[in-house]
Structure 1
């Protein structure tokens, strides 16, 4: 059965903290920053800051036109996965994230050196951040002239 291509999609998300149980669980797990700010991938990270909010974006099909002011960028590939088994809720699965990034790079026909930015979970914890980023930085995003934005050399992810 033929499928029509998706011409555009609306992406939206919302986070509301309406239950005290969320806060109690985050406090019991020592996940919240004592300073109320998230310092992801930084030596001063002590947890993350919770907040409420919403966001929405429209992604449309088309070719990238650098002369069109309404075009912000091009999405070359998109993948998702389950982190699978890991040590705990706050401990990501590095090998699963490596496989995901390699699959997206393959689909987009890009090399790791073509990336300028990488979106990560970034909990701002001294346990989760290095587990999430070290395998990507040192096993996938290697041999770079410039650091990937957010994974710079001045952060806790040094050799």
Structure 2
């Protein structure tokens, strides 16, 4: 759908199906003539008028609403939570094994060279897991708000 107006009378809108083309302008010209014949157009076009003089009225692009922005942000927050959860789950088992080796350091039991090597190489895993787990916990509370935002947008009852 395309709409045209006249420079002499911009409040007059003439809608025509299709895109802006010479054919659409011809259809608009026919509608303009009908409007003039029916007395619905007070504009004087005594100087002549051609289809090329129509001005195409373009719909203003709508900016995303605040609600749209909130929904996009909520989805991003939930996506971040999902990524953190996968990261935490993937390193949890290995981190627990390393953590058990840390406990061995505080006992009088002997610790093997292999366990020491495993412990040293596992510190990075332990650190990565602990940091991801803390970020996951923080993100989870933020994600609760995001879930409520989405539920409201989808008209779902609170869980």
Range class of TM-score, shorter chain: under 0.3
Q: Which has the larger radius of gyration?
A: 2
Higher helix share: 2
TM-score (norm 1): 0.18
